[in-house]
Structure 1
Amino acid sequence: MRISPRKLGLLSALYFVQGLPYGFQTTALPVYLRTQGVSLMAISVLGLLAAPWMLKALWAPLVDRHGSERLGRRKSWIVPMQAGLAATCAAAAFVPVPEALPVLLGLVFLMNLFAATQDIAVDGLAVDLLEPRELGWGNSAQVVGYKLGLLTGGGLLVWASDVIGWRGLFLAMSLLSLGVLAVVALAREPRRTVEGGGEERLSWHELRDRLLATARLPGTGWMLLFIGTYKLGESMADVLFKLFLVDVGFTAGQIGQWVGTWGTVASLLGSAAGGLLASRMPLLGALALASFLRVFPLGGEWWLALHGPTEAGVIAVTVGEHFFGGVLTTTLFAFMMSRVDRRIGATHYTLLASVEVLGKFPGGPIAGLLATQAGWSYANVFLLATVLSVAFLALLLPLRQRGPGPPSVSPQV
């Protein structure tokens, strides 16, 4: 069964605006700073500005537990965070660079802080809104919306900056944030009640006990291990594949078109297809199928490195990897949400999402060390990435076990 258009539109808009600052920081900000004469050393440490996304689990319990009854537990966080994001984007438009570079970087950090904190509340809202049959399409809205935000903040607005200027870019981000703020302000948040009636409101002691109870459910350790490793092989291959294409003689324009443009489109289509797959199959089966299909383009990268790349081969492998990677991400997020205790939805889901983010991080450094320090060829690294992706499929077998579900809750709309 399909998700209602109202839920789909609301979630897509919220995740879209959360992707704007991160897309800007990772793609547009380095270009902007370099055009303003900022040093390479200063630009190289920009990744620290994304720290709120890696650390947000630390304050997720606060967001999950506190909130206004009148405005709505989730909206009482989303609305001020959205307003803060719009204000910081507007303020950044008037910061002179490089004279006031620390001010600009501080504002970008605040953008990420507002977006990451809002993400906790939006994840909780998604848990509250979505019924089990809607998880596939709902998580497709999450992933596609966020990727479109990344594309807009890091691509489309940069392209438009030739006309509107960098100040116009910041103001456009602010206006987009205000537009979504208006949408969420008019949206009605459901109230979730436990069996027997009454609004749920857990104490800190109860919140801790429920987290401990979820950690003791059968299969939790295997689930965390899979979430933390499911893209390790893929991230190892990704960090070297573009460098491999440069070394064999393809131009920056070709790589940008194939990976940056066609790959992004394929990823968006894959995320949408993942929602369809997760809505038509049991979630664990959809996750297993997506994990299995993702292996083939990774094996294709190994084949190209071993036998020599062709233009058609690179395009096919790039599109395949981004498409099936998008399918896998959506099905995994739907699976994660299906295992969330809805009474602590924002905290529980944020913890799982943090494991997913942190688990992908070691792939790049491992691949770099193997290629530079250990002297491995591109083909050998790509082969290891493929083998690891096959091996991690075995982690899905213990996930068939599952303990008793969380207390039943129902939305009071």
Structure 2
Amino acid sequence: MPFGFQSTALPVYLRTQGVSLKVIGFLGVLALPWMLKALWAPLVDRYGSARIGHRKSWILPMQAGLVVTCAIAAFVVERGALPVLLGLIFLMNLFAATQDIAVDGFAVKLLEPQELGWGNTAQVVGYKLGMLTGGGLLVWASARVGWRGLFLGMALLSLGVFGVVAAAREPERTGEAQARPSLREIIERLVAAAKLPGTGWLLLFIGTYKLGESMVDVLFKPFLIDAGLTPAQIGLWVGTWGTVASVLGSVAGGALASRMPLLGALALTALLRVFPLGGEWLLAVRGPTEAGVIAVTVAENFFGGALTTAMFAFMMSRVDRRIGATHYTLLASVEVLGKAPGGPLAGLLASDAGWSYADVFVLGTILSVAFVVLLLPLRQRTAHPPRPASPLV
């Protein structure tokens, strides 16, 4: 939910406040916790993996932190204290990213290979629903309740989730070992995984699949604002309908990942994702219309959601389950770091280099085409053995 606000709603809010495109392009720095969370992921493995149920000891405090920061932001947003607001959003991302380590470690231990497609569908759909709420529904409602009401809504929803998690019991696997791995053991296993054949291509693959898309996405909403659309329209068309399409695409991606080889599912969804990116370039050339904005938004989010689920399932299939939280978090951090330069690069090209929106959008589309070309060599070079059948052997 905080990430949905940052990626969808915050650019709209800042543009309505007259903030420059250069500053908006650098908003990705608020997502640093998602990029760097691998640094403290070993602590989650060390102190949260003796049994699956211990993940709550990380999840609940992080959720409580979300409640507090959202509540404080509600009293800051309308006072013009922009640095304080951005700092609070950074803290929201820190709490959410740390919580995500524990949730992913739980999923790695729990899911069997044949469950990766649908298991990652559940994870991706869950986070998309949070983005739908923070970046779509609440922004749409902000026309009535204001930005303060938006943050109060986020705080109340986070409090509700805290209650659900506190009451839930997490399943445990029969015969699960109780010994906690030491930090040294975690690092040694991670180093061994890094030495497997094809690791370099794997990291390059994960790090490039969203770069072009992120360049387009970071400027698409400011483009719509400058074209005369209202925040309420953008919140409904892009933030809400787009996220609904993304959720449906995530389900479709999980189905593909369960029925065909994971790299085949990635190739298909990455290829289809290119077409709506080209559609956004056409909107920038010809001018946006209601039907055009809705069509390309729905298509891009649908195929992008399918691609994300297929990629996350593929990443989880490459993880050593004995150090699931750390290993998967490292791959997820590479995924975030890989697309991070897209926003600043797009902002600099549009503001300092004098590129038009159309110029930036066509470059993002070309980079997305280039990613598809990387699939073929990756298919040849990724030679990792399957992850251990038992989570703790």
2:200 & 2:281 partners in 1: Cα distance? 31
From 294, 305, 321, the counterpart of 1:342: 321
Asked which structure has the greater CA Rg, the reply is 1
CA shift in 2, pair 1:155/1:223, >3 Å:
same
| Equivalent in the alignment of 1:54 | 35
**2:158 maps to 1:177:** yes
Contact 1:95–1:104 at 8 Å: present in 2 too? yes
Aligned counterpart in structure 2 of residue 281 of structure 1, from 248, 260, 281: 260
Partner of 1:387: 366
SS of the residue 2:378 aligns to: helix
AA in 2 matched with 1:352: L
Instruction: Provide the secondary structure at the position in 2 that maps to 1:404.
Output: coil
Taking the aligned partners of 1:68 and 1:134, their CA distance within structure 2 comes to 21
Q: TM-score, normalized by length of structure 1?
A: 0.78
Q: Distance in 1 between matches of 2:356 and 2:151?
A: 42
Alignment of structure 1 residues 83-94 onto 2, 5 Å: 83-90=64-71
* CA-CA distance at 1:213 after TM superposition: 1.1
1:146 aligns with 2:154: no
Structure 2 counterpart SS, 1:347: helix
Which residues of 2 match residues 120-159 of structure 1 at below 5 A?
Answer: 120-159=101-140
Q: 1:300 to 1:404 in 2, by over 3 A?
A: same
Shift of 1:95: 6.7
Describe the shift of the 1:167–1:259 C-alpha distance in structure 2 as closer, same or farther (beyond 3 A): closer
Residue 300 of structure 1 is matched in structure 2 by 279
Query: 1:96 and 1:294 mapped to 2: Cα distance?
Result: 35
Work out whether residues 350 and 360 of structure 2, in 8 Å CA contact, stay in contact via their aligned partners in 1: yes
2:57 counterpart of 1:76: yes
- Sort the Cα spacing of 1:155 and 1:376 in 2 relative to 1 into closer, same or farther, 3 A: closer
| Superposed displacement of residue 226, structure 1 | 1.1
TM-score, length of structure 2 as denominator length: 0.81
**Does the CA contact (< 8 Å) of 2:77 and 2:148 recur in 1?**
no
Question: What amino acid sits opposite 2:247 in the alignment?
Answer: L
Per-residue deviation at 1:382?
Answer: 3.6
Match of 2:93 in 1: 112
Gaps spanning 5+ residues in structure 2: where?
none
Shift of 1:160: 4.4
CA RMSD of aligned residues (A): 3.7
Task: State the shift of 1:49 in Å.
Answer: 4.6
Aligned twin of 1:238: 217
Decide whether aligned partners of structure 1 residues 39 and 231 sit closer, same or farther in structure 2, where only a CA change above 3 A counts. Answer: closer
Matched-pair identity in %: 75
Instruction: Report the residue type matching 1:339 in the other structure.
Output: R
Distance 1:96 1:336, change over 3 A: closer
Higher relative contact order (CA 8 A, sep 6+): 2
* 1:62 alignment partner AA: L
Counterpart in the other structure of 1:4: none
Relative to structure 1, the CA distance from residue 96 to residue 212 in structure 2 (aligned partners, 3 Å threshold; closer, same or farther) is closer
Unpaired runs of 5+ in structure 1?
1-18
State the shift of 1:227 in Å.
1.0
Match of 2:201 among 218, 222, 244: 222
Q: For 2:377 and 2:12, locate their aligned partners in 1 and report how far apart those are by CA, in whole Å.
A: 46
Instruction: Name the structure 2 match of 1:408.
Output: 389
One-letter amino acid of the structure 1 residue matched with residue 107 of structure 2: A
**Deviations along 1:160-193, whole A, 9 cap, x unmatched?**
4566676655454333223322332343334468
Q: How many residues align?
A: 386
- Counterpart code for 2:339: K
1:347 is displaced (CA, Å) by 0.9
State the distance in 2 between where 1:219 and 1:122 align: 27
C-alpha separation in 2, matches of 1:306 and 1:271? 30
Distance in 2 between residues matched to 1:25 and 1:99, nearest whole Å = 17
Q: 1:193–1:200: 8 Å Cα contact kept in structure 2?
A: no
Bigger mean CA deviation after superposition, 160-169 or 54-63 = 160-169
